[in-house]
Structure 1
């Protein structure tokens, strides 16, 4: 077994309050990404906290952001 990386340790130690489950994150992620693209100053503390500690949801957010950004650049 290998030692956890600093990134993994940071994710495990991240304060997850306000709490948001992966299901709740998935339900809100489209709107979150659209708002962040429209207004980079937009903040949703629960989403931001969840994405900082959940690699799977963060990857989904990154992929969605890249897809929507490409669509905006084509317009």
Structure 2
């Protein structure tokens, strides 16, 4: 058993607490999100006003899926911002 104290993890910031406590309804799993990703990205590129509430909710709470969706949207836009 080590007597060396372990460093404390950083405290959660309010933005992180809000993300953990947000209402995730309608709920999608990452697998369901991935299955809908192409359709979602195409809709965002062709009609910026399109809304998929379940996808939007999932992407707000899942950084990995959000990063993937943003990358796909940028790819479909031809890399332009």
TM bracket, shorter-chain basis: 0.7 to 0.9
Deviates more, 1:3-12 or 1:44-53: 3-12
Structure 2 unmatched ranges of 5 or more: 1-8
TM-score relative to the length of structure 1:
0.86
CA displacement, residues 15-68 of structure 1 (integer Å, 9 cap, x when unaligned): 100110000000001110100110011001100000001111001111111111
TM-score relative to the length of structure 2:
0.80
Pairs aligned (count): 72
Which protein has the larger Cα radius of gyration, Structure 1 or Structure 2? Answer: 2
Structure 1 unmatched ranges of 5 or more: none
Residues 11 and 54 of structure 1 are in contact (CA less than 8 Å); yes or no, is this contact kept in structure 2? no
2:39 aligned with 1:31: yes
4+ residue stretches of structure 1 with deviation over 4 A? none
Higher helix share: 1
The alignment's C-alpha RMSD in Å is 1.4
CA distance in structure 2 between the partners assigned to 1:29 and 1:6 by the alignment: 29
2:14 aligned with 1:6: yes
CA distance in structure 2 between the partners assigned to 1:70 and 1:10 by the alignment: 34
1:8 to partner: Cα distance: 2.0
